[in-house]
Amino acid sequence: MSDLKEFKKILFCGLESGGKTSILLVLDKKFSLLPTVKPTIKAKRTLHTNALLGTMTIRWDLGGQKGYRKIYLGNKSKYFTEMQSIFYVIDIQAPEKFEEALVFLKDIISISSESHPDNFQLLILLHKCDPDIKNNTTIVNNINYLENKISSFIKDIRFSVLKTSIYDEPSLLKAFSDGAFYATHKTEMFQTLLKDYMGKTYNSSTLLLDQNCFIIASRSTNPAYQEICEAIAPRLTQALEKLEEWEINTIDIVTNIEFPEKHSEFQKEGIIFLRKLDISEIRLYLVTLCLNKKVKIKSYEYLPILADNLKNLLESFD
Ligand X SMILES: Nc1nc2c(ncn2[C@@H]2O[C@H](COP(=O)(O)OP(=O)(O)OP(=O)(O)O)[C@@H](O)[C@H]2O)c(=O)[nH]1
Check residue 16 for interaction with ligand X (CB under 6 A): yes
174 binds, among ligand X, Mg ion, none (CB under 5 to 8 A by kind): none
Nearer to Mg ion, 68 or 190 (CB): 68
Listing from the earlier edge strand, what are the strands of the sheet with 205-209? 215-220, 205-209, 282-290, 269-279, 252-258
Select the binding partner of residue 179 from ligand X, Mg ion, none (C-beta < 5 to 8 A, by kind): none
Binder of ligand X out of 7, 11, 57, 64 (CB under 6 A): 64
- Rounded CA-CA distance 209/195 in Å is 15
Given the rule CB under 6 A, which of 9-17, 49-57, 245-253, 268-276 is the region that contacts ligand X?
9-17
Residue 37: CB minimum distance to Mg ion, A: 7
- Centre a 10 Å sphere on the Cβ of residue 305 and count the other Cβ atoms it contains: 13
State which of positions 102-141 bind ligand X (CB under 6 A). Answer: 127-128, 130
| Residues 70-99 as x/- pattern, contact with ligand X by CB under 6 A | -------------------x----------
Asked if 20 touches ligand X (CB under 6 A), the answer is yes
The nearer residue to ligand X, 14 or 270, going by C-beta atoms, is: 14
Residue 9 near which of ligand X, Mg ion, none (CB within 5-8 Å, type-dependent): none
Q: How far apart are the first and last CA of the chain?
A: 19
Binding ligand X (rule: CB under 6 A), the pick from 11, 27, 60, 63 is: 63
Selection from ligand X, Mg ion, none that 252 binds (CB < 5 to 8 A by kind) is none
179 binds ligand X (CB under 6 A): no
Binding status of residue 18 toward ligand X by CB under 6 A: yes
**Which residue of 7, 9, 10, 22 would you call a contact of ligand X, by CB under 6 A?**
22
How far apart CA 315 and CA 230 sit, in angstroms, is 27
Q: What angle do CA 8, 12, 16 make, to 5 degrees?
A: 160
Pairwise CA distance, residues 206 & 217, whole Å: 8
Q: Which of residues 11-70 bind Mg ion (CB under 5 A)?
A: 20-21, 40
Residue 39 touches ligand X, criterion: CB under 6 A: yes
Q: How far is CA 242 from each of CA 233, 286, 293, rounded to the nearest angstrom?
A: 14, 17, 27
Amino acid letter, 261: E
Give yes or no for residue 275 binding ligand X (CB under 6 A).
no
Tell me the sheet residues that pair with 215: 209
**Among 37, 111, 224, 314, interactor with ligand X by CB under 6 A:** 37
Between the alpha carbon of residue 84 and those of residues 7, 40, 228, the distances in Å are: 10, 22, 27
Judged by CB under 6 A, the residue of 8, 21, 57, 126 near ligand X is 21
Cβ at position 103, least distance to ligand X in Å: 16
Residue 211 site contact among ligand X, Mg ion, none (CB < 5 to 8 Å, cut-off depends on kind): none
Contacts with ligand X by CB under 6 A lie at 14, 16-22, 37, 39-40, 63-65, 89, 127-128, 130, 165-167
